[in-house]
Amino acid sequence: MTPKTIFEKIWDAHVVHSIKDGPDIIYIDRHYIHEVTSPQAFRGLEERGIPVFRPSLTLATADHNTPTKDQHLPIREELSGIQVEKLKENCSRHGIELFGLNHKYNGIVHVIGPELGYTRPGMTVVCGDSHTSTHGAFGTVAFGIGTSEVEMVLATQCILQSRPKTMSITVDGALGKAVTSKDIIMHIISLLTTGGATGYFVEYRGSAIRALSMESRMTICNMSIEMGARGGLIAPDETTFSYLRNTKYYLENNSFYNDLKAWKDLITDPGASFDKEITISAESIRPMISYGTNPGMALAVDKSLPETEGMNRQDADNYIKALSYMGFSPGMKLDGHPIDFIFLGSCTNGRIEDFRAFASLVKGRKKAENVTALLVPGSKLVEEQVKKEGLLAILHDAGFELRQPGCSSCLAMNEDKIPAGKYAVSTSNRNFEGRQGPGARTLLASPLTAAASAITGRITDPRIFL
Amino acid sequence: MAKEKLNILESTCVPLPLENIDTDQIIPARFLSSTSREGFGKNLFRDWRYDHDGRPLEDFILNNRKYNGKILVAGKNFGCGSSREHAVWAVYDYGFRVVISSFFADIFRNNALNNGLLPLIIPEDEVKSLIALVTGDPGTIVKINVQERRMEVPASGKSFTFEINPYKQECLIHGLDDIDYLINMRGKIIEYEKSRGGLG
């Protein structure tokens, strides 16, 4: 048999039909929906007068526009309230399981799916959200789709997709002090640029990736889309299996060992080839921070911003435009620059491990007075765990409060907006203009860098504290 | 359901010489709280087009009356970022039927084709010269023929053949929809489910 990559194995097993000279019809094992990108899809079904084809394969949550305070009260923003209500209505009408606001399993779609065991190795996973690539950490083919495609999945459990090219990114070696998986992926994106993996599906490999926890792997796969990749995955292994064994899905069903047998084949065969291969040494990665207005514009936090000499005119124009939005200038050092906000949370870094890392650094220290901190757990289960492990007390002692779960300030659809001109060190995934609120200036970084910066009130290399 | 058909189009263009235009610029997240597909055009490029008080920003191209038409010409990696189809709805609702760039983000490209908006790819240098030409002469006409996969710029005498998947080409020309196609394939889908011994 021809050696295959994991991506090819999963893709091939899900092709229902290949249209001649056209896309493949791909069967979807797991479909996640949320309040913002699903209402028009349900309306489409109603206009066609058709039901949801396989309601048991779709799971819903409310996360994008929900408030992170006083969730027991009615939602204050009228249109957000309507979307959340509409989701409830649509799910109940079509028999779709919903972990809505105030449900004990509510949270960000890419946090709850994995933590409950709804995402499992070998699956195809889609959601009307570009960070669906997160689920690739479990050895799945997972990618974001638009609302028309959400409607296709609801109507037929399939979508039409052209087969992407494949890329392997190998990270070998040991990570340095205070270097996290967020720094690995930000380093990779800074090398490839924001469009550098467009058209590719990535497999992350190598000893540095193998050594990561599931939470850290999710952070890496999550940001695959930030270099344009269709998705990114990691081969499942013992780390994956032991994580899954303790999820709600397997605690309630006894099929773990049956499933396990099938998962063992989910490896890239020796001799299988990728369209593009990249190798990076883990030792070369340092704590990262973004300085511009796309996630490719990032550098090690101890470095100075590049000068424009040597750049072509277009690159220099893009660079200067981004720096002028950010209020920076070429050659300056970011380390030590005053900040106004920090945001810990999102589908990138809103998991228990991220709260542990943040708490470990702020423990016994005090938040700087000039910093407003938004600490938003990725789910109710994460929130509960933060309390159970005693992290909440550590955070309180250091001057931080914990909010309720949701996407929050990552895209600022709810009230958690960063004011115009203010600087926010954010553990989220995008530093686009206005992403965290009109005029907001986002500095993407790891939970450790966010914690160090929260303590000093300035952009800070976390290594000074560790 | 049927979409508006797109085969032959002759139009002036709006040049937007920026790279990596992300979907948060095309339609900021705070305007996504609608449950319908209509009406997003008025907030297209909202924060580049208007100031904080909602006054038009004069130097933004959409506020310059000299430039209009059904074709938007933009720098590489157009539509990167979020998967929000609202970005395509906004571009379409504003009145564009074609976006020309040297490459598009994958999800945006799919979303565009699912809504009858043609993402047309020509080489980066050609995008730049087209932008320069149109900026200098806003009356420059571009002719597009989807059936022949051809784009012409009579003023410069240039002509390009562009790539489009033949299936998607048919869909655009006839205003067809993937969903109808998939619904007709349900028999095959059920067969597939049986072949793997059930759901999921």
Residue of chain B whose Cα is closest to the Cα of A229? B106
Of B105, B166, B186, the CB nearest to A156: B186
In a domain, A337, yes or no: yes
State the number of CA atoms in the 13 A half-sphere of B190 facing the CB. 7
A244 and A373 part of one domain: no
Q: Is residue A299 part of a domain?
A: yes
C-alpha to C-alpha distance for A206 and B6, rounded to whole angstroms: 47
Q: What is the nearest CA distance from A441 to chain B, expressed in angstroms?
A: 14
* Confidence label for B2 from pLDDT (cuts 50, 70 and 90): low
Whether A65 has its CB under 8 Å from any CB of chain B: the answer is yes
- In B, minimum Cα distance to A440 occurs at B47
Domains identified in chain B, total number: 1
Q: How far is CA A453 from the centre of its chain?
A: 22
Question: Does residue B167 belong to any structural domain of this protein?
Answer: yes
Contact A79 B34 (CB under 8 A): yes
**Chain A residues within an 8 Å CB radius of B111:** 146-149
Taking CA atoms, B63 is separated from A128, B60, B67, B127, B135, in Å, by 32, 6, 8, 22, 14
Interface membership of A332 toward B (CB under 8 Å): no
Could you tell me if residue A321 is inside a domain? yes
> Does B103 contact A152 at a Cβ distance shorter than 8 Å?
no
Q: Report which residue type is found at B154.
A: P
Cβ neighbours of A48 in B, within 8 Å: 1, 179, 183
Tell me whether strands A288-290 and B158-161 are parallel, antiparallel or unpaired.
unpaired
Cβ separation B179–A151 shorter than 8 A: yes
Residues A269 and A137 in one domain: yes
**Chain A, window 365-424: residues with a beta carbon less than 8 angstroms from a chain B beta carbon:** 411-413, 420
Same domain flag for A208 and A349: no
Most B CBs within 10 Å, among A40, A119, A230, A414, to test the B interface: A40
Its domain, for residue A238, covers 6-276
Q: Taking CB atoms and an 8 Å limit, are B185 and A158 in contact across chains?
A: yes
Q: Is residue B71 part of a domain?
A: yes
**Residue B85 to residue A37, Cβ atoms within 8 A:** yes
Q: Which residue of B has its CA nearest to A129?
A: B83
Residue with tokens 């040049």: B15
Residue A283 belongs to a domain: no
For residue A400, tell me if it sits in a domain.
yes
B165 with A22: Cβ contact below 8 A: yes
Q: State the pLDDT at residue B1.
A: 53
Tell me if B49 sits within 8 A of B59, measured CB to CB.
no
The reply to whether the predicted model has a pTM over 0.90 is yes
- Are B105 and B77 in contact by the 8 Å Cβ rule? The answer is yes
* Residue A436 contacts residue A418 (beta carbons within 8 Å): yes
Identify whether residues A68 and A19 lie together within a single domain.
yes
Residue B71 φ then ψ, to 5°: -120, 130
Q: Are A135 and A129 in contact (CB under 8 A)?
A: no
Question: Are residues A267 and A199 located together in one domain of the fold?
Answer: yes
Per the CB < 8 A criterion, the answer to whether A205 and A168 are in contact is: yes
Residues A152 and A230 in one domain: yes
* d(CA A363, nearest CA chain B) in Å: 35
**Same domain assignment for residues A218 and A179:** yes
A317, closest residue in chain B (CA to CA): B18
The structural domain count of chain A equals 2
Of A21, A57, A144, the CB nearest to B199: A57
- Give the residue from A211, A241, A276 where a domain finishes: A276
CB A172 within 8 A of CB A184: no
| pLDDT score at A254 | 72
A145 within domain boundaries: yes
* Alpha-carbon gap: B51 to the closest alpha carbon of chain A (Å): 10
B36 located within any domain? yes
Q: Within an 8 Å CB–CB cutoff, is residue A313 touching chain B?
A: no
Chain A residues closer than 8 Å to B1 by CB: 44, 47-48
The C-alpha torsion from B150 through B88 and A227 to A170, rounded to 10°, is -80
Evaluate if residue B3 carries a pLDDT over 80: no
How close is the nearest chain A Cα to the Cα of B94, in Å?
19
A159 bridge partner residues: A26
Residue B200 scores a pLDDT above 90: no
Q: What pLDDT does B14 receive?
A: 98
The enclosing domain of B169 has a CATH number of 3.20.19.10
Nearest CB among A40, A198, A318 relative to B103 is that of: A198
Token pair 């506020």 in the structure block, residue: B63
Closest Cβ opposite residue B83 in set A128, A159, A294: A128
The verdict on A212 and A330 lying in the same domain is no
CA B44 to chain centroid: 12
CATH of the domain at A345: 3.30.499.10
Give tens-digit pLDDT for B129-152.
999 999 999 999 999 999 999 999
CB contact under 8 Å between A162 and B84, yes or no, is: no
**A264 and A293 fall within a common domain:** no
Task: Specify if B1 maps to a domain.
Answer: no
> Which candidate, A252, A251, A244, A239, places its Cα nearest to that of A212?
A239
| Domain-located, residue B3 | no
Residues 226-255 of A with CB under 8 A from B: 228, 230
Domain hosting B172: range is: 8-195
Low-confidence ranges of chain A (pLDDT < 70): none
Q: What is the pLDDT of residue A95?
A: 98
CA dihedral B181, A96, A94, A49 (to 10 degrees): -10
A215, A336: one domain: no
**Contact across the interface for A228 and B77, Cβ inside 8 Å:** yes
pLDDT at residue A386, rounded to an integer = 98
- What is the reported pLDDT for A255? 87
Residue from the list A37, A146, A435 with its beta carbon closest to the beta carbon of B110: A146
**Quick one: A79 and A153 in the same domain?**
yes
